[in-house]
Each structure stands twice: as structure tokens, then as C-alpha cells.
Amino acid sequence: MLKFSRLCLLSQHERRAFSLNLDSEVTILHAGNGFGKSAILKSLYNAFGAEPHRIDSFWRSAHVETFLEFTVDGDIYAILAKNGRFVIFDGNGNLLIRTRSIGKELIAYLAKLLDFRLEMMNRQEEIITPPPDYIFAPFYIDQDGSWKQPWASFKGLHLANSKQTLADYHSGLKPNEYYSAQSRRNILQAQRKSLEGERHVLHQTLQSMRELISDVVLSFDIFDFQLESEQLLVESRKLHEYQIAYRQRLAEIAEERRLWLEQRDIVIATLTEMDENFAEALDRPNEVSCPTCGQHYSNLIADQFEILQDKDGLYAALITSQEKLHELEGAANSERKNIIALEEQIAQINHILSVRKDDLSFNDVIIAQGRNQAGRIIRNRIGVIDDRITATRRAEDVESAAMKVAVSPKKTREIKAFFKDRLFEFCDELSVRIDTTKNPSMTTMPFGRGSEGPRGIIAYYYAFLHTARHFSSSSFCPIVIDAPNQQGQDDMQKVMSFIVDKRPQGSQVIVATEDLFGVDDHNASIIHIGNQKNQLLDSNLFEEVSDIIRPYLGQLI
């Protein structure tokens, strides 16, 4: 578990500083609006290279050095950050890492330290460990975006499908074991694709050799001759199989074309007969007598129009038939081309197999020996590669099976049921209406308007954090909440009491608020922030904080 111990902020430019002890399980930063509470919380994450929203220009212009002491499972560490440079030390002040690269070196170190093994695809379709923002995403409720929707605390959550991936990972639905197996499988897949590419090049080389000296098949090595002949025969059989398949498809096309031709002919005959009937109807009077039985039949204009309507339908059927015949003719031509190409390849292989050695010149023998030697080397290499591809595929299957085990249906149901129970419980406690007939989503929740919305956010986050505390395989981080009094809550004392009392077991909670709402020194460490509005850093603390940071500054360069 990660816990923050002490935060120091130092501006050499302004010769001002700030220091804050965070040893308590619950810390309340108490100050009015504009006294720097949010700047303190954002600094906690800036120290790790994460990007909270809205860091104002005045703060940036102060060129603040951020020094944060923290513990991971009781082991002491410190991190110093300034202008994109980061250094991490152990509890004795020994340098562990120094880097300017957040996306590679820093995140790689933090991922190992905090057992964070999530992997995602970037825009270049590369598998990466996502930036530090993804480590802290469920633990920080900022005042700029989080009170409107979950998973919006950081600017750096830019990878595709981030919300779902974060919910799956931090809840334990897809734990470290899943991503470790996925990482190993991705490495194996990359290796296999490289081997398959090499095999393709070698196979193409053999093909080119046959085409360039197709008449030379002489070999003084009976094993080489037999091996090459067998390969040619195998290839010939495959080509024959393809040819049979193409001919079968061509036969199916021909049969379908015959049916459409019959339909077209029937339609044409029907149209011809209908034209004759219509012309005859025009010449007849309005009432026609049957010469056989004497029955009278009407020959009204409406009946004549019915004949025309039937004729329109037949024309549509004729057009469809013609279009289908055209389409089938194109498909047949395509299959004929495939058959011709295959016949050429088969003829070439048969020609190679049928050449008589008595017809070869001495020069042919020399050429053949060179080609055979090269072919032997290439075929041996292809055999080795085939064995490695087979072994790699088997290893991939093992890792895929491990991924399935890590996300078993039984465990998935258990985690979702746990989250659902906590969410319904917390919504009831905070008077948040929620449809209990539906299974809630772990990525977002539709909550009511006004003051009910922020209470719903708190209920959702705490339900998720309890789930993460119970099931997640990575380090649990401090819960940091900025400005919980949103939308004019009717009973903020109840909300604050919930935040303090319902926190996950053993977790650290840091809350920045303008009012205490009933929280006192008995259940939290209350720290009053700032002596002057818009001026968090204090010149009186400059020397004291400088003495703390100075031993580490030399390692920053």
C-alpha cells in the first residue's frame, strides 16, 4: 500500500516554500477558496509525473520544486521533481533512479514499485505501460472534472477505452496475472511474427531460385534430390487442391448462372405474352363474350392497368436477372484466371520434375551444385524456423490459457456482486436514488441532478475503492478528495462523516475543504492552510524547506 508522509514545495525563484506532514490516516486541509488547497493536492501527483487539470500560470512561473516522502508497504522512499526531471531515493537517501522520461523510465520504475502491470495499446498500436495518471485514476477526486463524471481527474487519460480498462484493472476484474500473461503472450506473438516474416523471405528466395534456373534440377546428393522433389510434389498437390476448389466454385457459378438464365428467359416469354394480351385488350370492347360458354367478361381500363402493373414487376425481375448474370460472369472470369495461374505453376513444377539429367551440360551441373547447396542451407533454416514457430505457438496458447484463468466467470461474478452491494448500500446511506433492479456499471453511473449528483459520485467512488481494496492486485493508493461541498449540499456533515468513517480499511484519506462540517481533531488531523490568499508558499519557510531538500538537489541534474 502506498501512503504519503510529507510534502515540501520550494520556489528558488520566489524564495518561498511550503511543508506539510501527512502521517495521519485522515488529513483535512482546511482553508477558504484561493488559499492553495488544490495546488497542494495537484502537487502530490505532479511529483509522480501525473497531470491533474488546470495548473495555473502563476504556479508554473514560480518554478516549484516538489519533494514528496512516501512509503510503500512500510518501506520509505522520496521523490523530487522539477521542470520535467525526476529523482527517486530510498529511505537512506541513496539514488534509485534519475530520469526526464515519464513515459518510459519513470513509469517503468513506478510500475515495478507499485506492482502496476496494466498494459494498453497506444496510437501507434504499440503495447505500453500507460502513464502514471492511470495508477492514481480511481483515487483522486479533483474539483475540476471528477464531480461531473468518474475517471476524469487527469489530463493524461488519453488512451483508447481508458475508462473501461481502468475499471477492469483496478477493480480486479482483470488483475496483474492477466496482464502479465498478456505481456508474455504479446512478446511471443512478436517473436512468432518475426520468424514468420523470415520464413516468408526464405521461401520466396527458394521460389526465385526455381524461376531463375527452372530447367536445372540436378543434384549429386540423393538426399537433397529426394527432399527437394518431395517439396515440389507437396507444393504440386497443394496447387492441385486449389485448382479443384477453384473448378468447384466455377461449377457452382455456372449452375447458378444457368438458373438465372432460365428465370430471365421465363420473364422475357411472360412479357412477350403479356404485350400480346394487352394489345388485344385495347382492340376489344368494354365487354367480351366467351365464344365457348357465352359468359360475359369486363374489359375495363382498370383491368388493363393491372396488366401494366404486373408488367412493371416483371421488368424489375428482368433487370435483377441481368445484373445477377453480369455479376456471375465476372466471378466466373476471376475463377478462370485463378485456374490459369495455377496451371502455369503446376506446369512449371512438372517441367522441373520431368527434366532428364542426360540433357544437362557441364555448366548446368556446376550451376545446379551451387543452387543445391544454397537450397540445402535455406531449407535447413526453414526447418529450424518452423520448429521455433510451432514452439512459440504452443507457448502463446499457454499464456492465453493463463489469461482466461485470471478472468474466470466465478471471480467476475463475485467482484461485480461486491461492487453492487457496496454501491446500493452507500447510495442508501447518502440518500441517492438508484435503480436497484438493474446491475450497475463499474465505469459510470447515472445520478440525479443538483446536490444528489455529487453524493452519487462519492457513493460510486467509495463502492469502487472498497472493491479495489478487496480485489485489486496492485498497490492501493491514498484517497484524495478536493472540495466535496458541491452543488450546495443540504447535509454536508453527513457527507464528511461518510468520507471519514466509510473509507476502506487501512487506507489514507486526504480531503481539501472550505469548512470542517463537524470533523474535529478526534477523527482527523486538521491542517489550516495559508496566511494569504493566492499565496500558498511562505517566505518564512524557505530556509527550513531548503535544508530538507538541499541534500537531494545535487542528484536532480
- pLDDT (tens digit, 9 = 90+) per residue, 12-25? 889 999 999 998 99
Q: Is the pTM of this model over 0.85?
A: no
Which of 79-88, 113-122, 330-339 comes out lowest in average pLDDT?
Answer: 330-339
Q: What percent of the chain is modeled with pLDDT above 70?
A: 80
- The whole-number pLDDT of residue 301 equals 44
Element housing 524 (H / E): none
pLDDT (tens digit, 9 = 90+) per residue, 358-368?
444 444 544 55
Average pLDDT over residues 388-412: 90
Domain ranges of the chain: 2-175+407-556, 176-217+356-406, 226-354
- The whole-number pLDDT of residue 228 equals 61
Indicate the SS3 state at residue 3: strand
Average pLDDT over residues 254-275: 77
Out of 30-44, 302-316, 340-354, 481-495, give the one with best mean pLDDT.
Answer: 30-44
Which of 163-177, 265-279, 418-432 comes out lowest in average pLDDT?
Answer: 265-279
pLDDT (tens digit, 9 = 90+) per residue, 326-363?
887 888 888 778 778 777 777 766 666 555 444 444 44
Q: CA dist 475 to 104, 261, 336, 470, 544, Å?
A: 20, 71, 63, 11, 32
Flag whether pLDDT at 295 surpasses 60: no
pLDDT band at 505 (very low <50, low <70, confident <90, very high): very high
| In CATH, 2-175+407-556 is 3.40.1190.20 | no
Q: CATH assignment of 226-354?
A: 1.10.287.370
C-alpha–C-alpha distance, residues 254 and 261, integer Å: 10
The total of other beta-carbon atoms located within 10 Å of residue 543's CB is 10
Flag whether pLDDT at 90 surpasses 50: yes
Flag whether pLDDT at 500 surpasses 80: yes
Flag whether pLDDT at 38 surpasses 70: yes
C-alpha–C-alpha distance, residues 401 and 81, integer Å: 42
Q: CA dist 381 to 188, 209, 221, 539, Å?
A: 20, 16, 18, 72
Average pLDDT over residues 317-326: 75
Give me the chain's average pLDDT, please: 82
Q: Which residue has the higher pLDDT, 445 or 498?
A: 498
State the residue for C-alpha cell 531538500.
Answer: 549
pLDDT band at 136 (very low <50, low <70, confident <90, very high): very high
Contact 488, 448 (CB under 8 A): no
- The whole-number pLDDT of residue 429 equals 93
Flag whether pLDDT at 286 surpasses 90: no
Nearest CA among 110, 104, 119, 113 for reference residue 175:
119
DSSP H stretches of helix in 116-221? 133-136, 162-171, 176-212
- The whole-number pLDDT of residue 232 equals 65
Indicate the SS3 state at residue 367: helix
DSSP H stretches of helix in 356-476? 362-406, 409-429, 452-471
pLDDT (tens digit, 9 = 90+) per residue, 513-556?
999 888 888 889 999 987 778 788 889 999 999 999 988 887 76
pLDDT band at 395 (very low <50, low <70, confident <90, very high): very high
Contact 524, 30 (CB under 8 A): no
C-alpha–C-alpha distance, residues 423 and 275, integer Å: 75
DSSP H stretches of helix in 96-175? 107-113, 133-136, 162-171
pLDDT band at 222 (very low <50, low <70, confident <90, very high): very low
Contact 332, 250 (CB under 8 A): yes
How many Cα neighbours within 13 Å face the side chain of 108?
A: 10
